[in-house]
Chain A
Amino acid sequence: MSHRFRYRIGDRTHSFATLAEVMAKATPERSGDRLAGVAAGTAEERAAAQAVLADLPLKVFLSEALVPYEEDEVTRLIVDGHDAAAFAPVSHLTVGDFRDWLLSDLATEEALTALRPGLTPEMVAAVAKIMRNQDLILVAKKCRVTTAFRGTVGLPGRLSTRIQPNHPTDDVNGIAASILDGLMYGAGDAVIGINPATDNVAQAIRLNRLMADIIEQYAIPTQSCVLTHVTNTLECIEAGAPVDLVFQSIAGTEEANTSFGFSLKDLAEARDAALSLKRGTVGENVMYFETGQGSELSAGAHHGLDQQTCEARAYAVARHFEPLLTNTVVGFIGPEYLFDGKEIARAGLEDHFCGKLMGVPMGCDVCYTNHAEADQNDMDNLLTLLGVAGVTFVMGIPGADDIMLNYQTTSFHDALYLRRALDLRPTPEFDDWLAKMAILDSDAGFRLASDVPDGFARSLKRLPQDA
């Protein structure tokens, strides 16, 4: 095998046969890349790969596809959609120079917005590998990605939250109880999104109606979503269900997406169907995507790439369909992909940075499973870091405990912590609604009302008072 890439440290030469190998070995340590057998063998080999990567011209990613063009529709989407004119300001740079450029004062919000169509996910993944956590935070904070449906998500100084009212049997009152809990804590401006326990079309229609009824009754400037398969949602729309957002878990290779049971054509079709309902009031972003490092390897569809590069490719899929929200479910996949709190935090910051730089409205499910080496303190750390980085939205769940999916994500209390610590408001539309309903006063340091607002108090009174 010829070794195209070499780096000399003292009397040792580290060599790498392919661009994919350089990318994988330059990646900060994580268990999933070891499981895949693509990680650097030693710390020095990793540092050497980073040095090699930093010296490569950004252009190399335009001439050399990491997953073959002929075999993969995600590659075709990336290559065919590349805008050479937008790329021009950085086309002469190496990966290392690009890091410098991003951190420099040349990279203003406007310059970064104009650059987006000129960046491929591989370029973005590459530069992330040689950036420290503070670099990932600082550059992401400069990126502005604004989207809208019934509220405007992603404005400066704002943080949105998803209410995730999951219930192990999809009990309507159990779900409504969690929604009420979230609303009373000022959550839910990104979306009210249910992972159904029973995943079929009939159930999705039922849950869509349940949420639409609540949103309508209290005139809440937010949107709902049932996190079911895209083909199920299409059937829901055809059956006349009140669908706001179309959900799909997406990955960065065609093969992985095939294992999820969809192609890009399905996403386009479902998006058109959702747009035809015209349910948005202030915008037309109708897609909600979820991603997460490791899903390609998990599907045996990673083409020898590292998991962070695969993940960035998923954002090329996301941005093509102009989503309202995209969410990296960073700690859900388990310790064989991200072993501990440190690896989870690093991945969360990388994903947020890569998504934002590409123009994706990036949120993060700051989360962990009980078999990962992580705890609530790790979640506090990542939540705070992402808040500083300007994360678009985070999850909200009663007491951080998802009783259906059996993992821990951020709570309604956690989001309020971040609002107070960093002065972050909900969307303007939702902020006004919270004030009008006398739930949360953002102007007074995010103070919650001590009483239940009238409309909700009436709903509670209707319940029989047995216990």
Chain B
Amino acid sequence: MPDPEILTENPWRSLRRFTDARIGLGRVGVSLPTRELLAFQIAHAQARDAVHLPLDAEKLADDLRELEGLGDPLVLHTTAETRDDYLRNPPKGEELDASSVAALEEAAGDPCDLALVAADGLSSFAAQNNVAPFLRAFLDHVEGVSLSRPVIVEQGRVAIGDHVGEILKARAVLVMIGERPGLSSPDSLGLYFTWGPETGLHDARRNCISNVRAAGLDYDRAAVRAAWLLSEARKVETSGVALKDRSSEGEIDASDRATSFLAAPSEG
């Protein structure tokens, strides 16, 4: 047990049942106790590694080969040559390099309904851990939809889907990409859906489903939402702002006076 004269614990730490925020850490004087400093260091190290450890694209391709209903994965690369180049020059992560363009053109068959693109983005952990289980769930919801061979892109940004989709002449593209890692979520996968992909599209044309991971938005719910986006987009033939928020309409009621435990009606 820590000496209470040195380390003051915070009784409200129990409120962590309401939040993942690092509340009630306790203190030594006014500073962070050693145990909390070390816990932070570990979380930060994981987030850093998520950014800098390269995606094992061959391993991911093997994982995808085990899923029934998918074609053989293609592994491609953007014009960003190194991680440093990728971080300093975002546009380079939005364009396939010349050999990848050639490989993709050769592989392109008839136009498909949906191109599937997995990319490392800012967290290789996210793509490595979550793309295969997400697709396993997603495949249950896309009967009758023609899918591209899954394309794995190294050093990719969200807009890489536009380039891939354009070459494949896909009617829509779903980019599964590692999001900027947080301390509590180093492996968050983002899903970006775009109807009519072509290079140069604005972000306003995309729909995003965020935080897909075992401890976040689970694969089944993410799959249902992604499939909803696809089926709605096929009706209105667009994506982005025009589809936005309709799936969550009516969830928030401004007249909801549900207040917090801090301001509950007093003494009653």
Q: Which residues of B contact A416 (CB under 8 A)?
A: 30-31
Give per-residue flags for A191-207: 1 if the beta carbon is below 8 A from chain B beta carbons, else 0: 00000001011110110
- B143 an interface residue at 8 Å Cβ cutoff? no
Name the CB-closest residue of B to A172.
B260
Q: Which residue of A lies closest to B51 (CB)?
A: A371
Q: Could you tell me the distance between the alpha carbons of A129 and B24 in the complex, rounded to whole angstroms? A: 42
Could you say which of A334, A417, A462 contacts B261, with CB atoms under 8 Å apart? Answer: A462
Residues of B within 8 A of A31 (CB): 88
A400 at the B interface (CB under 8 A): yes
Instruction: Give A209 Cβ to nearest chain B Cβ, in Å.
Output: 7
B47 nearest CB neighbor, chain A only: A370
Complex Cα distance A262/B10, Å?
43
Is A260 positioned at the interface, with any CB of B under 8 Å from its CB?
no
Which among A176, A370, A406 is the interface contact of B260 at CB below 8 angstroms? Answer: A176
Collect the chain B residues with CB atoms within 8 Å of residue A217's CB: 262-263, 266
User: What separation, in Å, do the CA atoms of A408 and B25 have in the docked complex?
Assistant: 16
A34: interface (CB < 8 Å): yes
Using Cβ atoms and an 8 Å threshold, which residues of chain B touch A185?
27, 30
Most buried by B among A178, A399, A452, A459: A399
Q: Is the C-beta of B74 less than 8 angstroms from some C-beta in chain A? A: no
Judge whether A282 is part of the interface by a CB distance below 8 angstroms: no
**CB-defined contacts of A210 to chain B, threshold 8 Å:** 259-260, 263
Q: What separation, in Å, do the CA atoms of A405 and B21 have in the docked complex?
A: 12
User: Given B179, B252, B262, which contacts A459 in the complex, CB threshold below 8 Å?
Assistant: B262
With contacts A180-B262, A202-B253, A462-B261 known, is A413 near B25, CB below 8 A? yes
Q: Report Cα–Cα, A403/B258, bound state, in Å.
A: 23
**Contact call A399/B12, Cβ cutoff below 8 A:** no
**Could you say which residues of chain A place their CB within 8 Å of the CB of B12?**
177, 180-181, 184, 452, 460
- Cβ B253 vs Cβ A401 within 8 A: no
Q: Are A459 and B47 in contact (CB under 8 A)?
A: no
A177 to B18, CA, bound (A): 7
A402 CB–B CB distance under 8 Å: yes
Q: Return the contact of A370 from the options B16, B48, B257 (Cβ within 8 A).
A: B48
Complex: A446 Cα to B31 Cα, angstroms: 12
Q: In the complex, which residues of chain B have a beta carbon less than 8 angstroms from the beta carbon of A462?
A: 261, 264
Chain B 226-268, CB within 8 Å of chain A: the 1/0 string?
0000000000000000000100100111101111111110100
- Across-interface contacts of B263 in A (CB, < 8 A): 176, 210, 213-214, 216-217
Inter-chain contact B260/A206, CB cutoff 8 Å: no
Residues of B162-203 whose CB lies within 8 A of A: 179-186, 188
Chain B residue at smallest Cβ distance from A241: B254
A24 to B21, CA, bound (A): 40
CA distance A284 to B87 in the complex (A): 43
Contact pattern, B 84-102, Cβ under 8 Å of A = 1, otherwise 0: 0001111000000000000
* B residues apposed to A, CB below 8 Å: 8, 10-12, 14-25, 27, 29-32, 36, 40, 43-44, 47-48, 50-51, 87-90, 122, 179-186, 188, 211, 245, 248, 251-254, 256-264, 266
Closest 3 CB pairs of A and B: A399-B22, A406-B182, A176-B260
